[in-house]
Structure formats: structure tokens, C-alpha cells
A and B are shown apart, each in its own frame.
Chain A
């Protein structure tokens, strides 16, 4: 089956620094990837949609200058949290769509970010 990986699985950073999270589709080419944020005991909240070779589309209320998304290849999308603050601490999940199965969405295992 289709596999999506995320790296790192958890990260702790200091307030004011930037942190990058990678999302990779391991056995398929993902023209579209999605980034979600999940607070404890809550549902997934879509942050942005990332299409290979073009700018990401951000959901309303998501700061595009704080959450930089790059989808430079068909197997890699990155989310960079810039000038992180404690309120950015959360669980970040990426997912990817395989054009051959557009009704499916394959999720990564998530990244827990803690900003101290």
C-alpha cells in the first residue's frame, strides 16, 4: 500500500527559532499534499494544500508567512514553522494524494512539535 513518512516524529525547539517538517510519499508520486494541525482531543484542521511546482493554498486564518510550505518534487513537501512560539506547539499531520487513486488520501504518522 501507499506509504507516507514524516520526519521528524517529534521535535522540541526554542521560541523564536524555525523548524522544518518533511513529508515524503515513499512509493508513489504525490501531485498534491496536505498539511493538517491537530490539537489535543480535537479533529484535524486543514492548514494548506500543496501542489507540486506551485504555491501552496492556505486556509483562511493560517499565516502563510509563519507556516512556509514547499512542494519541490513529486515525493516531498516541507512545512517550516518560522519564528516558532509556544502556541505553535501542536501535532502536525501531512497527507498525500496519488493521482491514480484520487479518492484516497494517505496519511503520514504525524510530527509532535513542542516550542519552549
Chain B
């Protein structure tokens, strides 16, 4: 069974600074996808970034980037130039594609507060 661990229940960062959220996972699969989702106070789940395990290059989306270490089974999210709107719960998730019987596995989440 796949598991996802986020060891930081809460974090805070000053506006405009950089913060890194940690995520580790456990799987015996070789082909999978990793995601970071943001859940603001509205509780709508918003996709932040996606990484395909077979791609060595780290995914980047504007101020968001990941450090994907496949051998270490680590998938951290770096937020640069933090903004007040980044305040939210952040969930790391794992998914095996083309297997409709298996869903995403979510980590417990990290609550990020961006301070003015």
C-alpha cells in the first residue's frame, strides 16, 4: 500500500520570503504521479503542481517548484516570494495512473501561514 507523509503540521513564513514544505512517500511502483494541492479557507482543492515519476526534471509553475528525489522518495514544494494568498492547507498526494480502482493517496497536510 502507498503512504504519504508530511512531517510539518504547521509552518509560517514572512511575506516575500521562501518556504519549503516536505513530503515523503512509500511505494513499490515505478510509474506514478505526485501532486501538491492547495486548500484555502474556501476549501476548494486547487492543483498547485504535478510531477511525473519518470521525468527527472523537477516541475515548476511560476513561484512554485518541487525537488523530486525518486530514490529517496521525497517530493518537497518550494514557494518563492510568498504571498498572503498562499495561506492555506497544502496536501501532498500520490497516484498511480490508468488504474481507475485506485485513487489518490493524500498526506495529512501542512498548514501554511504567510505573515505580513
- Contacts from B to A (Cβ < 8 Å): 33, 42-45, 47, 50, 52, 91, 95, 97-98, 100-101, 103-104, 106-109, 111
- Contacts from A to B (Cβ < 8 Å): 31-32, 34, 38, 41-44, 46, 49, 51, 57, 91, 93, 95, 97, 102-105, 107, 109-110
Taking A107-B44, A109-B42 as contacts, is the C-beta distance between A46 and B98 under 8 angstroms? no
Instruction: Check if A46 sits within 8 Å of B108, measured CB to CB.
Output: no
Instruction: Check if B50 sits within 8 Å of A103, measured CB to CB.
Output: yes
Instruction: Check if A107 sits within 8 Å of B33, measured CB to CB.
Output: no
Residue of A nearest to B32 (CB): A103
Instruction: Check if A42 sits within 8 Å of B108, measured CB to CB.
Output: yes
- B100 contacts which of A32, A91, A110 (Cβ < 8 Å)? A32
Q: Which residues of B contact A93 (CB under 8 A)?
A: 43, 45
Residue of A nearest to B42 (CB): A109
Beyond the given pairs A31-B100, A43-B91, A49-B100, 10 more chain A to chain B contacts, judged by CB atoms under 8 angstroms and listed by A's residue number, are A42-B108, A49-B103, A51-B100, A103-B33, A103-B50, A105-B95, A107-B45, A109-B42, A109-B43, A109-B44
Instruction: Check if B44 sits within 8 Å of A57, measured CB to CB.
Output: no
Instruction: Check if A46 sits within 8 Å of B109, measured CB to CB.
Output: no
Q: Which residues of B contact A34 (CB under 8 A)?
A: 103-104
B93 to chain A, nearest CB (A): 9
Q: Which residues of A contact B98 (CB under 8 A)?
A: 102
Distance of A46 Cα from B94 Cα, bound (Å):
13
Which of A32, A95, A107 gathers most chain B CB within 10 Å? A107
Q: Which residues of B contact A51 (CB under 8 A)?
A: 100
A4 to chain B, nearest CB (A): 10
